[in-house]
Amino acid sequence: MSENIVTLTDQDFTTRIQGAELPVIVDFWASWCGPCRMMAPVIEEIAQDYAGRMLVGKVNVDENRQTAASFGITSIPTLVLFKDGKEVTRFMGFRPKEEILRVFSEHLA
């Protein structure tokens, strides 16, 4: 995983998201999920391309069930964009990089 991607857990999720000065894209995923594995290189590219303009975090739903449940994550991968600590948009399933950026672009710094 890229140095530009932060692993988020049940213990630090709220603190890290609410304290973030930049928009944060969070990838809710699991190691057994095929579409999640397909999405991983896309997330890596976005983290590198937008370093300094947004943060990218990953939440393993199997290891962090409390956080996944609190956001109603019922399907993975799910990408959620947070700005000023609040969810502003989300989508589920594999998406190409261009579509992710088109959806999130209005919220990026």
Contact 81, 87 (CB under 8 A): yes
Torsion sign, CA atoms 84, 3, 43, 32: negative
The active-site residue out of 5, 8, 26, 36 is: 36
9 is catalytic: no
| Separation in Å, CA 19 to CA 55, 81, 84, 91 | 12, 14, 8, 23
98 is catalytic: no
Alpha helices in the chain (DSSP H): 13-18, 34-49, 65-70, 97-104
The active-site residue out of 17, 24, 25, 33 is: 33
Residues known to be catalytic = 33, 36
